[in-house]
């Protein structure tokens, strides 16, 4: 496979990314990996290589301001769910220019906060996305923070969570945000994977999403927390690859057992 670091510039900020291109001269499907809160493009490097060895291209990137390891220079205090959505949309626009990518088979893979962002992007660009893979998606973000800061005057200028500092804008932009009104219209296939022992994001959100989307399947991972074990990750990768192959094969719109 070919592994190459690239940058994607938009809105006066530059995304740090790495693509994984399978060997050969074919036009390949592509999976875009979106990491979680304070994550990094390397979080899914092992998975990206797994897909590339299986003939599926992959791209991993770091959200601008979405990580203390981000090199874009965009402050974490300026990052919001919506700046991250802009980042993902810019990545989609970029990969569609690549001659080795099959534009009819672009897949979004989002974990935790990246899952929430991927779900939002799929609502906006549904006609460009073949399918959506959501790994313990943090669909609870707005609900949790709005419960914590019930009034606008409760919002602080900054708040540090898990060693990363968020700015006031993060919380202001999700005031009045109702996830159940903002996602669920994406008409492509959706695979959700969630651990039964997740104490960060309730699996109830994935249960709701699996019922909300027209064509979705939820796989519960027994005993897994928010962030899977090595064994859980290997199972996740195999399940996601099977799902992509199903989507590539077409056929029935109803997801079959995996």
Helix or strand holding residue 237 (H, E): helix 230-249
3-class DSSP state for residue 26?
coil
Check whether 16 has a pLDDT greater than 60: yes
17 Cβ neighbours under 8 A, 6+ residues apart: 5, 6, 7, 8, 41, 59, 60, 61, 62, 91
What is the band of 88 on the pLDDT scale with cuts at 50, 70, 90? very high
Contact status, residue 68 vs residue 93, Cβ threshold 8 Å? no
Contact status, residue 173 vs residue 112, Cβ threshold 8 Å? no
178 Cβ neighbours under 8 A, 6+ residues apart: 142
Check whether 164 has a pLDDT greater than 90: yes
Q: Which two tokens stand for residue 1?
A: 């496979």
Check whether 154 has a pLDDT greater than 60: yes
Euclidean distance between CA atoms 158 and 212, whole angstroms? 34
246 Cβ neighbours under 8 A, 6+ residues apart: 189, 255, 256
Check whether 40 has a pLDDT greater than 80: yes
What is the band of 38 on the pLDDT scale with cuts at 50, 70, 90? very high
What is the band of 255 on the pLDDT scale with cuts at 50, 70, 90? very low
Check whether 152 has a pLDDT greater than 90: yes
Which CATH superfamily includes the segment(s) 2-249? Answer: Alpha/Beta hydrolase fold, catalytic domain (3.40.50.1820)
Three-state SS string over 60-101 comes to: EEECCCCCCCCCCCCCHHHCCHHHHHHHHHHHHHHHCCCCCE
Contact status, residue 53 vs residue 1, Cβ threshold 8 Å? yes
Residue for token digits 């979680």?
36
Per-domain residue ranges for the chain?
2-249
Contact status, residue 11 vs residue 86, Cβ threshold 8 Å? yes
Check whether 252 has a pLDDT greater than 50: no
Euclidean distance between CA atoms 37 and 89, whole angstroms? 18
- Strands of 144-206 (E only): list them: 158-161, 164-167, 189-195
3-class DSSP state for residue 168?
helix
Q: Where are the alpha helices (DSSP H) in 74-198?
A: 81-95, 113-124, 141-148, 168-172, 179-182
What is the band of 250 on the pLDDT scale with cuts at 50, 70, 90? confident
Contact status, residue 139 vs residue 255, Cβ threshold 8 Å? no
């Amino acid at each position: 496979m070919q592994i190459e670091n690239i940058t994607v510039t938009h809105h006066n900020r530059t995304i740090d990314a790495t693509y994984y291109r399978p060997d050969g001269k074919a036009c390949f499907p592509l999976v875009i990996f979106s990491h979680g809160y304070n994550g990094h493009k390397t979080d899914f490097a092992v998975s990206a290589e797994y897909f590339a060895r299986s003939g599926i291209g992959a791209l991993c990137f770091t959200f601008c301001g979405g990580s203390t390891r981000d090199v874009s220079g965009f402050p974490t205090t300026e990052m919001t769910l919506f700046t991250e959505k802009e980042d993902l949309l810019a990545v989609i626009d970029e990969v569609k220019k690549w001659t080795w990518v099959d534009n009819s088979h672009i897949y979004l893979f989002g974990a935790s906060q990246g899952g929430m962002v991927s779900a939002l992007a799929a609502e906006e660009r549904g006609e460009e996305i073949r399918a959506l893979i959501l790994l313990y998606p943090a669909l609870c973000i707005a609900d949790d923070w709005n419960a914590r800061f019930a009034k606008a005057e409760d919002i602080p200028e900054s708040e540090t969570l898990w060693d990363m500092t968020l700015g006031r804008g993060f919380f202001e932009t999700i005031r009045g945000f109702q996830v159940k009104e903002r996602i669920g219209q994406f008409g492509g296939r959706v695979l959700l994977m969630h651990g039964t022992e997740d104490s960060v994001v309730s699996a109830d959100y994935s249960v709701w999403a699996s019922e909300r989307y027209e064509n979705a399947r939820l796989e519960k991972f027994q005993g897994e927390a928010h962030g899977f074990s090595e064994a859980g990750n290997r199972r996740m990768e195999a399940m996601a690859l099977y799902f992509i192959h199903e989507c590539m094969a077409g056929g029935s719109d109803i997801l079959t057992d995996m």
